Structure 1
């Protein structure tokens, strides 16, 4: 569910939505979300002063309250 949300959000923003993919690595206490996108879209996904990625983190923090799991998100170029 979280990976689908992050992927859909990123595809709406990205110029190259076909390059967007999300990978989850689940740990005991922290789930790491890696958002892969085209190099040209990295700036758009992070946003000015980190506002776009901050919005994603805000929504994900709601999931933390629901299931007690912590999430970490990273954006990397394809």
Structure 2
């Protein structure tokens, strides 16, 4: 599942992997994935010039071919 991939990938990067949480909100054509992380890890997850989050987006975009949905991903601070 897409959310499992995003969570595991984020845990590999994060300094506080225990704070990683992923939720998905599905619509008819678009599914929004919200990645919650410790505030100290936000910069790591986004990466320099957005390269880390871009890599995650590239991999999950391959899922569109399988189920026809587009995926949008947002990184937010965990509460």
Q: CA deviation at 1:59?
A: 0.3
Equivalent residue number for residue 32 of structure 1: 32
The 5 Å alignment of 1:1-78 reads 1-78=1-78
Q: CA deviation at 1:65?
A: 1.4
**What is the alpha-carbon distance in structure 1 between the residues aligned to residue 55 and residue 65 of structure 2?**
16
**What is the alpha-carbon distance in structure 2 between the residues aligned to residue 9 and residue 31 of structure 1?**
19
**What is the alpha-carbon distance in structure 2 between the residues aligned to residue 53 and residue 65 of structure 1?**
20
What's the TM-score, normalizing by structure 2? 0.97
Structure 1: which 4+ aligned runs deviate by more than 2 Å?
none
RMSD, matched Cα? 0.4
**What is the alpha-carbon distance in structure 1 between the residues aligned to residue 39 and residue 65 of structure 2?**
32
**What is the alpha-carbon distance in structure 2 between the residues aligned to residue 16 and residue 63 of structure 1?**
27
What's the TM-score, normalizing by structure 1? 0.98
Q: Which runs of 5+ in 1 are unaligned?
A: none
Q: Which runs of 5+ in 2 are unaligned?
A: none
